[in-house]
Each structure stands twice: as structure tokens, then as C-alpha cells.
Chain A
């Protein structure tokens, strides 16, 4: 793997951005309803959308049903992959993803509580609750795992597993006692799904993402040093505890927002960073943004499959990612068995 140079970084990221754009276009033109719309009409429909004028039927299907859904898939897939890559770097364990460490468990529990307490199922309260739950669980994990001012990886992982189990139990408790009115939505939400949200919701998701994404990208150099080992990183001048804390909060924020809009979608945050690492090398300055872009591509394609495989019915997208991700996880486990048993 050649060392990362500036032209290499930009050419790879440019290539992936192009691929992402092609993927979104592809998902735009596949669907259950045949759409006869050339690029010129599409442009005029698009300008009508911007001026919030009424659209034609095809315009509605392309720009208000398919496009928001594809964009949401990109945001969710990208966010989960980015935070997955960060967790893997922080914990220096190839099996880490947002779903370990209790982050998603805490977010899921709090989001369901949010669904119950808010009489309306509007977007607003759920991500706030989810973020609160994610932060609460990550701080709980950090507090439990911290020994003599340090965060050893082993106790961190164990604390994460315990906290996740605890929150899963609470989620199961809620699902058992929850009233009939909330139960179906909570269960569907747990399965993970990407749906056509309004553009204002998408904007809100992007807004919530922004600080987290910027912090994580800014920490890429620290991640590189941390991956050499914590002692080496400290000797090389990284304020390791501060970086870890910042990264955990940022990654939790992104995970919480993704979980709150799309429920629990597994394996994206695990698979994508590994594939990127295998293909483009382990430098986090490239790994982190490339994970975001590829995560978006991956989830958008998974969602395309989810809505076409048994058309006109749809599958939960979590089914597709898990079916693809399960075998991958096993392969990864076999490959890294020695590393883990060490």
C-alpha cells in the first residue's frame, strides 16, 4: 500500500463521491412504478420542488419518494460506517462497531421511551432522547471501565457488553409492557428501515451529524497514532484521554441520530470500514471519509434491494445488511481469531 499523499487522498475521495452520486441516480431510476422522465423534465420538476410548487406524478415519485429515501440511506449508512471506523480505531479491535459498547442499546432504549412519551410520532423528540440515551450509556461504560485514570480496552469492551445487555433487557421490558398502540411501531423501528422522510427531516439529520462528523475527521491523525498503541501515542504527544472522550461523544451523537431515524440497522458500521481498510489501507485520514462515502453507497444499494426483492412489498433493510453482514462477520472472525485470542 503506497503511503497516503495528498493527490492520492483527493483522487480516491473524488472517485468515491462520483460512485455515490451514480448510486443515488441508480436508486432514483429503479422502482415499482415505471417513470418516463428525461433529464430535462427532471430538472424542471426539481426547480418546481425547490420553489415548493406542485409536481407531476412522476416528479413526486422521483423527487419526493425515491430521492429522500436514497439520501436518508446515504446519511444513515455513512454515519454508522464513520462511527464504526472510529470505534474500531479507538478500541483497536476489529470487531468493534456502534452496536458494541452499549451505544446503540442505550439509544434504542431512550428512543422507545421517547416514542412512548411523545404523543405524536414526529421526528423531533426521538433523536434527542436517543442522543441522551447514547451519551448516558457511553458515559456509564466509560465510568465503569476507567481504572486508575486510564481506559483499558478489555474493561471497556466488557463494560460495553454489560451495558448493552442491560439496555436490551430494558428494551424487552418496554416491548412487553408497552400498550398496543405503540407496540407495532416500536417493533418495526427495531427492525431497521429507511423510509421517505421530508427534506426538512433530512436537513435536521445532516445538522445533527455535522459536529460529530467534523470532530471525528479532525481526530484522524490522533487515531493513526492511537492505532500504534496507547503508550506510543501518548509518547508521541497525543492527549489520549481527551481524544478518546471527544471521539466517543462524537461517534455516539452520529449513532444516536442514525438510530433515531432508521432504527437498528446492523453490520454497516462493522463491514464497511473493514472493506475500506483492506482496499485503501489503514490511514484514518482516508479511512474515515471513505467509510462515510462507502457506507452511504452500501446502504443505498441495500435499500434498493430491500424494496425490489419482493416487490410490491418491501423488506426491512436490516434484513439485507444482516444477511450480507453475517457471513462477512464470520469470515472476519476466522481471520482475526489469533488476534483476538492473544
Chain B
């Protein structure tokens, strides 16, 4: 009944591999700017509202993978067919017509069923940082899929796994019937994101590059999840933490420091990383900022010659012996002031590399290590 040949044309050309921008376009939150955040006519509009508008193409394309494969007709093996439809270049027209028509009908059923507001969106997160943000927004219950690396908070570990950051399975994502997919431009495989966009999922991608952009990301995520007020509260709280730190360390000079990811080869945090941003904001001076590479293999002799007063040794994963290992390595170089004064701190890598709310926690922690006098504590 909503069918029109023109719409079908669009679908057809789309299938032939010509990129047809049916709606808004890719959603990217790049830095502070939120470009065309959605494929939808209204950025954070509710799917159900859109579906009630006759002639809105978004309606059936959006529900295509869901309507066919989902609850409506569990035995109909059309989920695979749906993918086939989107990707295959030599498609039999009749089959397509049939499937598209079926999808349309199903969609109409679904749209009637979903009359009201979608209060329980099914969210899939494709990055550990986004998982953390979703939990922080109090939306953890809505998460229906996470990556293998999502280990914080501990509830995230019991969520269905979709694969590693770069090895997420498209089928696994589709099988979760997501309403909202959150991903990252750098972290996720571009082909996966493209496929999800082609399948007209509501995919939002984020790529914060500084501490301030993390705050923007949190706001944007809260907006797409319909929890804007909670997001604003959270951002306000994190901002106040940041201000507290910057006030506390304002009086004292920057402490020369390095943040070390690997010993052999020696990998440091260079400029353009969150770790660098954290060091500088916590009242330190990153000695590796001359490297011009985000994670440089750094010259050991130069590190020794630059005499860092604090060494932040980052341990990958949950490693019980991390401190012992770090000390075993650094005690080889007792002339480094940080080693002489035992100012070698071990930090979980997740705390300094994940662009999530916990960065602000490590900001406070680092400030305490750099300037124990300002915080009335320290080692």
C-alpha cells in the first residue's frame, strides 16, 4: 500500500552498488561537531514516529533486517536473504520484488505494533569506551551486544559478545536486532560500518581525539539514546573534576614525565594521544612530545638523558605481576630520577587509552602522582 515504483527504483540502484543516499548520510561525531548525525530525517527521531508517516522510505528499510528475521516470522529464513539483497550484484528481479514487498508488508505490521515511543531501544556498542559511556548513562540494561574487549563495568562482561574491536561479525550485530548501533571510525573496521550503513541501521560513530571531545561524545551518545539530561549531568560532573585538577596543579610547575606502553621496544605515549593530553592536563610535561608520532618507539638513550621525574608504566589487561615487571625493567636504569625516587607508577592501560568517562578518573589519579603535595597524599 505504501509501495511506489519510484522507491523501488531507488532500492534497485542501491543494490547495484551505486551508493544511494536515501536519507541523511553517515553519522559522524568528529570532534566537537556533530555532522548529520543520523540516516534519519530527524536526527534523534523515534523509529516508530517515522514509520507512521506514509511514504517514508526510512520505515521499511530500517525494519527490513528486523522485520524479516525478527520476532514477526521466526521461521522465515529471510535475514540472510536480506543481506543477500543488499550486497549481491546479480539479483533476480522477481525474487527481489517478492522480498521487498514482503518486507514492506511486515514493516507496516511492525509500525502499527510500535505505535508509541520507543522507550527500550536495543543498543549495540562496538567499542569498550562507548559501552562504558552507555553504562554511565544508566542505559546498561539496554545494551544487547558488546565487543570482546568490553570489560568495564563488570556487568558488561555478561553481555552478548559480537567479536573483537576489529573482528566484529556483521551477522552477530544483525542477530541482536539493534535499534541503535554505536561505533568508532578509527577503532572499527570501515567495511563493517559501511555494511551497517548500507543495511540502514541507525549507526552513530564517534571519534573523540581530546579530553574535551570525550565530553562531546558523551553528550551525543546521551542524545541518541534519549537520555540527554543524564548526559548533561555526567558531563557537568566530569568537567568539575577537570577544573578541580587544573586549579589544584595551577600553582606548581609541570613535572617531566613519560608514559610507557611497552619496554622492548620502548613504546611511549606521544603527542596526539589521550595519554599525552592526560599528562599535560594533570600537571605533567610529556617528555616524548618531540616524537611527532602518536605511539613512537622511543630512543632509550634519549629517555635516560631527559631524566623523567615520574614514569607511568602502563600495563595491558589485568596483569597481577604488572608492578613487579615494571620495576624489574626500570631498576636496570637507576640513574633516572623517577627510578631513583621510586616514582614509577603502574596504571591499567584501559584507564589512559579508552576515550570514556574513566579518563577523568585517571586524570585525578595522575595529578595525585605528579603533585602529591597538592592533594595531601601520594607515595
Contacts and interface: CB of A to CB of B under 8 A. Distances in A.
A74 to B, nearest CB: 18
Interface string A114-131: 000001110000000000
Interface string B290-332: 1111001111111011000000000111110100010010001
Nearest to A65: B301
Contact of B301 (A31, A184, A188, A198): A31
Interface residues of A, number: 34
Given A181-B316, A181-B317, A57 B304 contact: yes
Contacts of A315: 297
Given A60-B335, A185-B262, A313 B300 contact: no
The B interface is mostly helix, strand or loop, or mixed, namely loop
Nearest to A306: B297
A198 B263 CA distance: 13
Contacts of A183: 316
B292 A180 contact: no
B298 A314 contact: yes
Contacts of A307: 299
Contacts of B328: 120
Contacts of B267: 184, 188
Contacts of A235: none
B333 interface: yes
Contacts, number: 94
A193 B264 contact: yes
Contacts of A31: 299, 301
A198 B333 CA distance: 11
- Give the size category of B's interface with A: 35 or more
B305 A33 contact: yes
Nearest to B293: A313
A312 interface: yes
A184 B295 CA distance: 12
A181 B262 CA distance: 11
B261 interface: yes
B316 A65 contact: no
A184 B332 contact: no
B37 to A, nearest CB: 31
Contacts of B297: 193, 313-316
Contacts of B304: 33, 57, 60-61, 65
Nearest to B305: A33
Nearest to A69: B300
B301 A313 contact: no
A198 B266 CA distance: 15
Contacts of A66: 301
A202 to B, nearest CB: 14
Contact of A196 (B300, B302, B321): B300
Contact of A313 (B149, B262, B299, B316): B299
Contacts of B293: 310, 313
A195 interface: yes
Contact of B302 (A32, A57, A176, A184): A32
B265 A313 contact: no
Contacts of B167: 176
B246 to A, nearest CB: 29
Interface of A: 31-33, 54, 57, 60-61, 64-66, 119-121, 176, 179-185, 188, 193, 195-196, 198, 307, 310-316
6 contacts: A31-B299, A120-B321, A176-B164, A180-B317, A184-B316, A188-B265
A-B residue pairs, 6 tightest by C-beta: A181-B317, A313-B296, A33-B305, A181-B316, A314-B297, A32-B302
Given A31-B301, A184-B262, 14 more contacts: A33-B302, A60-B333, A61-B301, A119-B321, A121-B325, A181-B315, A183-B316, A188-B262, A193-B265, A195-B265, A195-B266, A313-B293, A314-B297, A316-B265
Interface of B: 149, 164, 167, 261-267, 270, 288, 290-293, 296-302, 304-305, 315-319, 321, 325, 328, 332-335
